[in-house]
């Protein structure tokens, strides 16, 4: 325990006042850990049908916290973007965020085919994004375009497709939560293309080339992963209130 505390203090001492990447890695790690503790400890406060959703919210932020711990150390040691660790984090947490849609819509009869469809699209989005950012950087815009198509397919499914129809059928707190999650995907997830363009070569370099990719990604992760969980938490609270009434 003393060794862990010493290493943490030593790392903090090495963060320069203008190292915004290191700062956001550190804050992101702490925020994700705190969110995980909150979600896990609140699970038993709600009806059984919402506990899995709260559990998944906690897993999303916990997985992110662990990866942020490694990414923070990697950045401090190498001053390079931890692209590999970041995409490992995303390939685990983003599909789980898609699972949340299925879990809250089960009350309206959502089938597992919806869940697997969203998971598949999210994996395509992430794999092609990784290929453009880390493997085929000279064709980054092409891979980014493919990733964007998969993203918009997710947006269509939750805003206009079968997921939207199920949310309308469920109504009440479920519909409200679904709408909020949809806005997170449409607006919150739109942060990531900015980070992608800031860190890869292409026609867009003159537009976003001066931005720090990792700062954008870190802010996006904190907003979206913790935000997703809070929406689910609020749904569980509101649903419990509706049931009690």
Give me the DSSP letters along 4-42: HHHHHHHHHHH--TT-HHHHHHHHHHHHHHHHHHHHHHH
Query: Domain range for residue 62?
Result: 2-244
- CATH code assigned at 122: 1.20.1070.10
User: What is the full per-residue pLDDT of the chain (245 aa) written as tens digits?
Assistant: 545 444 554 545 566 777 889 999 999 999 999 999 999 999 888 888 899 999 999 999 999 999 999 999 999 899 999 999 999 999 999 999 999 999 999 988 999 999 999 999 999 999 999 999 999 999 999 999 999 999 999 999 999 999 999 999 999 999 999 999 999 999 999 999 988 988 888 878 777 656 788 999 999 999 999 999 999 999 999 887 666 55
HSE of 199, CA atoms in CB hemisphere, 13 A: 24
- As for how many domains the chain has, the answer is 1
Torsion sign, CA atoms 132, 136, 140, 143: negative
């Amino acid at each position: 325990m003393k060794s862990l505390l010493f290493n943490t203090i030593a790392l903090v001492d090495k963060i320069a006042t203008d190292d915004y990447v290191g700062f956001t890695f550190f804050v992101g790690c702490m925020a994700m850990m705190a969110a995980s503790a909150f979600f896990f400890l609140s699970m038993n406060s709600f009806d059984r049908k919402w506990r899995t959703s709260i559990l998944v919210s906690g897993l999303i932020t916990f997985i992110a916290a662990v990866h942020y711990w490694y990414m923070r150390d990697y950045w401090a040691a190498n001053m390079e973007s931890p692209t590999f660790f970041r995409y490992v984090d995303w390939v685990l947490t983003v599909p789980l965020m898609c699972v949340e849609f299925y879990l809250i819509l089960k009350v309206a009869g959502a089938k597992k085919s919806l869940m697997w469809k969203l998971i598949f699209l999210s994996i395509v989005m992430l794999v092609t994004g990784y290929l453009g950012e880390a493997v085929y950087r000279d064709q980054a815009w092409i891979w980014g375009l493919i990733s964007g198509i998969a993203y918009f397919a997710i947006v269509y499914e939750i805003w206009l497709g079968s997921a939207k129809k199920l949310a309308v059928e469920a109504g009440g707190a479920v519909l409200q939560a679904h709408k909020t999650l949809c806005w997170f995907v449409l607006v919150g997830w739109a942060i990531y293309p900015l980070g992608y363009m800031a860190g890869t070569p292409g026609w867009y370099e003159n537009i976003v080339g001066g931005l720090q990719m990792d700062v954008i990604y870190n802010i996006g992760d904190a907003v979206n992963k913790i935000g997703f969980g809070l929406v689910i938490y609020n749904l569980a609270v509101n649903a419990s209130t509706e049931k009690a009434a």
